[in-house]
Structures are given as structure tokens and as C-alpha cells.
Amino acid sequence: MTSSHKTQVALITGGAGGIGKAIAETLAAKNITVVISDINTEKGVQVASTLEGLFVEADLSSAEGCRTLVVQATQRYGRVDILINNVGVQHISPIADFPEEKWAAMIQLMLVSPFILTKLVWPLMAQRGGGRIINMGSIHSHVASLNKSAYVSAKHGLIGLTKSTALEGAAHGITANAVCPAYVKTLLVESQIADQAKTLGIPEAAVIEQVMLEPAAIKRLIDATEVAELVAYLCSDKASAITGSAFDIDLGWVAR
């Protein structure tokens, strides 16, 4: 799916920072035009401008926002070849105290919006004979952690969506895979460290050592560029036979 010219277009949600930004930078370096959306408009505009791409301000928690993103991308470039469903949020709370509206909002953003975006780009990919869909899962696509019921539910659901998309997309040359990292050095993880420390009543250093890295075989956080390189491979022609899979980049977290 790579080319010497910028003929392909990748749509990346949550692309202003963290994993999304690393993916945008990696794909742009491979001559793929990037369209990013993010709640942080200032940083999103900056990243898109630096990468000679497009930033779209859209509320992905609504179907209309998803349509806005795809419409603006196609109006500018006329195609979407790669969809990276990366946007995510976190809320740490026991089930008994979890606000229902917050729980539903997280599912909407991290599971429903990837479905809607997949549906919207589907005909664009099919008419060109193929495409790549990457859903950013997590170790929490496989296992659960305390006080993360919404996040875990959404990430588990993404695996099911990935498999269904792969089966239906095969006839159209569309592949779908999930990438499931353990804890990556991002602002989202930094906020989780602070939240977990408060909830569990332990120092932040203890959260990293006892919660995030204790189950891992390799005792370090992951760099976002490591995840981005895996995503870029799955978007390439070399990965055309790979679909319906979940790739763990997890320091051996779920090997137990």
C-alpha cells in the first residue's frame, strides 16, 4: 500500500499526540497523505501542517462528526485508503461509582465511532479495490484491569469488530487488523498513572512498577514509534495476506 508519490490517503483519529501522532509521522514519511482528527485543535493543526496533511475538526462521539471527517477528507483528496481508529479516552472508576453517561460516552467514542467510520470509508475503499483498516486495541482487548470497565469493554469489542470487518472486507480487498499495545509513553498513560495513584492510594512510581509493569516480562514503557512502525507494516503491500488478527506489542504482558 506504499508508493513513491503521495497517492494514498490515511485517516487517523486522535492524531495530534501520542500513538496517533507517531503513526501520522511514520506514514507521512512513507509518502502517504495524512488526515487527522483530534479534540486538541491547536496541536492537530500543527501536526497536519508539519506533515503537509489535513486536520479536520470533528466530534467523533457523534455519527455526524464521523461523517464530517470522511466528507472533508474526500472533498480534499477524493479517497481514503487507510483508516486508523486510534482515538481513545480513559476514566478510572469502580463499576459501582462509574457514571452511566460517562460509561456510554466512552463506548460511543471508542467502539461505535470506529464502526461508523469503517462503514463510511467502506465504499471508498471497495471502489478502488482495497484498503487497510487498523483498530488500535490494547492489552485490555484481551485481559481486564480493576476500575476500567468501559475501556476494557470497548477494547474487547474492537477485536470483534476487527474480525467481522476482515471477513466481510476480504471480497473487496479490504484488510482489517488490530494492534494491541501495553502501556505506551503518552499523555493518556501519564494521566492514568495519576488517576490510579489517587484511586489505589499509592505513589505514582508504585503504579508504574506494581500495576503497569508488574505483569510484563520486559520492564519498560513502550515508545509510540514502536507501535507506529507495526501499524505502518500492516498498511503496506507486504501485509496483504494478514487480516482479522490482533497484534500484541505488549512486552510479554499477556504471555502468562
Residues annotated as part of the active site: 151
Question: Beta 82-85 vs 54-55: how paired, if at all?
Answer: unpaired
Q: How big is the CA angle at 78 (ends 75 and 82), to the nearest 5 degrees? A: 110
DSSP state of 133: E
The C-alpha cell at 220 is 519498560
Spatial separation of the C-alpha atoms in residues 180 and 162, rounded to whole Å: 12
CB atoms within 10 A of CB 38: 28
Whose cell is 477494547? That residue is 155
CB atoms within 10 A of CB 216: 20
Phi, psi of 214 (to 5 degrees): -60, -45
User: Is residue 253 within 8 Å of residue 216, measured between CB atoms?
Assistant: yes
- Listed in order, strand segments (DSSP E) in the chain are 9-13, 33-37, 54-55, 82-85, 131-136, 174-181, 246-249
Pairwise CA distance, residues 32 & 13, whole Å: 15
88 Cα distance to chain centroid: 7
| Alpha-carbon torsion angle 229, 232, 233, 234, nearest 10 | 130
